[in-house]
Amino acid sequence: MIRLCVNVDHIATIRQARRAQEPDPVQAAMLVELAGASGITVHLREDRRHAQDRDVELLRRLVKTKLNLEMAATEEMIGIALAVKPEMATLVPERREELTTEGGLDVHGHVDEMGRIVRRLREGGIAVSLFIDPEHDQLAAAARAGADFVELHTGSYGEAREQKAQQAELARLIQSATTGRTLGLRINAGHGLDYRNVGPVAAIPEVEELSIGHSIVARAVLVGLEQAVREMLAAMGTGH
């Protein structure tokens, strides 16, 4: 059955808005687990704009499901990942000026370099996922780089307003999931998924896990975090 990994960065974003102690993404992660999610995602950015090193260290000690560390492929982050040892590292492109992760990684243009980074993390006992656009060249490169997983970027699907455009984006995701499996990759997906658009992506048989942050935290402000997680699990068709 498809799993939900909840991204707790936006809890930290609220805290950092006041440079305060609360709300605590680590406490939030405990509630997310109680509500039935299968994992916690946290993105430690180079500029530390939301999650802090302390959050990652505490999450490592307290998360009982699975910790997915989202990170740029930099020496600093590789060092942190190898010390913290999350179950999975998801490599993402990172630009200081962006509001959130914008495009997928260009694995195709940097296969050898990505392959070396994937190997170092895997030798540290960490499963590696590469966040890529749903494109054949990127999938083939991710397989060549030795990744365990790819996370298919669902941002274009999430942004599509017209039904026709949304169907076309969904078709790309379905095709990419099939191609990825054929190449020996395991498939996750995420970015821009919400309560209304998640169903068809959750129904793609090859997709194992969805990483969702903003829509859950946005709803949590109004209905509470546990209810927001349970409603997302229901929207995914997991029967919770």
Catalytic residues, by residue number, are 43, 70, 191
Work out how close the CB of 70 gets to ligand PXP at its nearest, in angstroms, rounded to a whole number: 5
For the annotated binding site for 1-deoxy-D-xylulose 5-phosphate, the residues are: 9-10, 45, 50, 100
Question: What is the rounded distance in angstroms from the CA atom of residue 175 to the CA atom of residue 180?
Answer: 8
CB 40 within 8 A of CB 63: yes
One-letter amino acid for residue 194 of the chain: D
Closer to ligand PXP by Cβ: residue 8 or 141: 8
Closer to ligand PXP by Cβ: residue 11 or 143: 11
Closer to ligand PXP by Cβ: residue 108 or 219: 219
Work out how close the CB of 26 gets to ligand PXP at its nearest, in angstroms, rounded to a whole number: 17
87-120 per-residue burial string, b: 16 or more CB within 10 A, e: under 16:
ebbbbbebeeeeeebeebbebbeebeebbebbee
Work out how close the CB of 150 gets to ligand PXP at its nearest, in angstroms, rounded to a whole number: 11
Closer to ligand PXP by Cβ: residue 68 or 179: 68
Q: Which residue has the tokens 């990744």?
A: 147
CB 36 within 8 A of CB 10: no
The first and second tokens of residue 41, run together, are 């995602």
Cβ partners under 8 Å of residue 84, min gap 6: 56, 57, 60, 67, 69
Closer to ligand PXP by Cβ: residue 86 or 190: 190
Work out how close the CB of 191 gets to ligand PXP at its nearest, in angstroms, rounded to a whole number: 4
C-alpha 87: how far from chain center = 13
Q: Would you state the torsion angle of the CA atoms of residues 65, 85, 92, 76, taken in this order, to the nearest 10 degrees?
A: 150
Phi, psi of 211 (to 5 degrees): -110, 115
Which residue's C-beta sits nearest to ligand PXP?
213
Work out how close the CB of 116 gets to ligand PXP at its nearest, in angstroms, rounded to a whole number: 21
Residues that bind ligand PXP (CB under 6 A): 7, 9, 43, 70, 90, 92, 100-101, 131, 151, 190-193, 211-215
